[in-house]
Every structure is written in structure tokens, then in C-alpha cells.
Amino acid sequence: DQVLVKAQNVKVHFPIHKGILRRQVGSVKAVDGLNFEIRKGETLGLVGESGCGKSTAGRAMLRLYELTEGQLDFEGVDIASLDPKALREIRPRMQMIFQDPQACLNPRMTVGSIIAEPLDEHTNLSTEEKREKVKSLLDAVGMNRDFVNRYPHEFSGGQRQRIGIARALALDPDFIVCDEPIAALDVSIQAQVVNLLQDIQERMGLTYLFISHDLSMVRHIADRVAVMYLGKIVELADKRDLYKTPKHPYTQALLSAVPVPNPEVEAKREHIVLQGDVPSPANPPKGCNFCTRCPVAIDRCRVEEPELRELNKGQFVACHLAE
């Protein structure tokens, strides 16, 4: 399998400033050393609770943030060190679909001009060619071609998300970061949008990083899954392995909270309740990031940080006890 995206020790720290001199007094370690690969044509799920850094990680993968540290290869080119001109050339190939399409659809622009905007910026297509392209994009996302002259507010949340997807597809990207693309939608239309994403992935050979807090959804759409906690990946595996035999105590806790459909099985399941809150990424614990909440922590966990190691074939775990 060919690797499309490769993150090595990717860090995004945001400085904290104080006082009128704006002196830096610390930093928020939103993303703190990610290592993973995304293969061509696959969907890597990125899961974790809100605030764990997954959205920041997603944006970092497109270099929408400068990396504090690390290397980020896109087809073997380190985009973390590209100058603005070279970055601009590679940009069209990497796109993003947002949780709230509302926020990224300019209410004063027609659907047609919203979808055509990336074409205006990055191509020399004629007006006629652009019009045709926009129509084919509307086809691709299952919307009526006549919608080009209408405005975002005339549409439902699901349809607005389709407009956002059409826009993301305008430049024929290879890689799309989907950041909670259905979290803001009615349950009744979530499945439609997920099916659309899977359908266009297959037709256009897309590679996805699919960010979500919803483990059931990720199980449905992802090939492999990475679990994030406090800026780090604690477990990464093929989805079958991750859901069947989770090795990290945090993954186990997250999965134990997902109800299973069979009520008899559900009644017998053990639910792991985590104590306390997620610590601040401005002041993460020493040793293992999870040690303040881990039900099986040992002394070593409070002094030594566990590395993400390959335990079984393709199953990576960052835990001293997972051996």
C-alpha cells in the first residue's frame, strides 16, 4: 500500500502570552508528537473526546497551522518546510470538510460562486468551463444543477454540507480532512452524508482523515482508527483489532461507553467510568498523559512516558502495561 501522508513527531503548540508586554509564559500543547501514516485510498479515523487536539491535528495535516516541530510528508514531500509558493501549488490536492458548513459558506454568495471560488483562485478555466465544472460537482454530490443561482440559507443543513463537499471537490483533491462532517446534522440525514462521502471516495480515489468523537460512526466508515488523548495518539490499529481487542486503557474506556445493540449483552457489559477531568494541555501530567485518570496506572506511569509501539502487526499502543 502506498503512503500518501506521513506524520513524524508532529507538534502544534500555541504560545500563551501574558501582560502588556505579551511575555510568553507557557504553551498549549494541542498536538504533541503525532506519528502515523495514511495510505492512498484509505480512511483513517481519528477519535477522541472534545479538546483532545483532533481538530488541530486535522488542520495541521493540511498545514493550516505552522508545525512547532516535526515532519509532514505528502507523497514524500515534507510540506512542513515548503515555502508559501510551493505550498500554494500543492494546496489544491488537500482539502477540508468542516463540521459546520454554515460557517464556511458566505451567505451573500450564490451556491455556484461558492463552489467556483477555488476554481477562480487556482485555475485558469474560462467562465463557461467553470460553469460546467460547477454543474458536474452538483451532480457528484446529488444536488440539482438549477441550484447554482440560489443562496446557502435556502437549504437545509444536509444540503449545505453537500455544497461544502462540492466546494472541497472542485480542485480534484487527493486527500480530504473531514472534521466531524456530520456532527451538526440531524440523525436522519447523517447516514446520507456518510454514504455520499463513501461514494465519492470510491469514485474519485480519495484518501480521508475522518475526525469524529463518535466511535460507532468511525467504525462504519474507517479502515484504521487512531485514538487521541491530550494531544497524543494512544492507540492506532486496523478497525477490526481496535474494536475487538482494544489494548490501551483509554480505548477500552471509550469503547465500554458505546452501547451494543443486543440488550442482553449490553446488560452484562462492564462500563469503565473514568475519574476526573482531562488535564489542561497547557500543563499535561508527567510520564504518561493518561496517568491521572488511568484505572490501572502504576508508579512507572508517573515518571516515564510510554512510546507508541507496534504490539501486534499493525496495532500500535502507547502504554507500559500493553505487552
The residues binding ligand SF4 (CB under 6 A) are 248-249, 288, 290-291, 294, 296-297, 301, 306, 319-321
Q: Let me know: does 176 contact 97? Beta carbons within 8 Å.
A: yes
Using CA atoms, how far residue 319 sits from 151, 212, 250, in Å, is 50, 23, 10
Using CA atoms, how far residue 164 sits from 2, 23, 228, in Å, is 28, 39, 26
With CB under 5 A, what is the number of residues at the site for Mg ion?
1
The H or E element containing residue 211 is strand 207-212
User: Closest CB to Mg ion belongs to which residue?
Assistant: 55
For residue 186, the Cα-to-chain-centroid distance in whole angstroms is 20
Residue 55 interacts with Mg ion (CB under 5 A): yes or no: yes
Q: Please, what is the minimum distance in Å from the beta carbon of residue 311 to ligand SF4? A: 12
**319: partner contacted, choices ligand SF4, Mg ion, none (Cβ within 5-8 A by kind):** ligand SF4
Distance CA(40)–CA(75), nearest Å, equals 9
**What does residue 227 show for φ and ψ, rounded to 5 degrees?**
-105, 125
**112: partner contacted, choices Mg ion, ligand SF4, none (Cβ within 5-8 A by kind):** none
Residue closer to ligand SF4 by CB (options 152, 306) is: 306
**55: partner contacted, choices ligand SF4, Mg ion, none (Cβ within 5-8 A by kind):** Mg ion
Q: Please, what is the minimum distance in Å from the beta carbon of residue 234 to ligand SF4? A: 7
Q: Please, what is the minimum distance in Å from the beta carbon of residue 209 to Mg ion? A: 13
**What does residue 271 show for φ and ψ, rounded to 5 degrees?**
-105, 125
What grid cell was written down for 305? Answer: 512516558
Residue closer to ligand SF4 by CB (options 33, 118) is: 33
The position carrying cell 502487526 is 313
Residue closer to ligand SF4 by CB (options 84, 276) is: 276
Residue 212 interacts with Mg ion (CB under 5 A): yes or no: no
Site residues (CB under 5 A) for Mg ion? 55
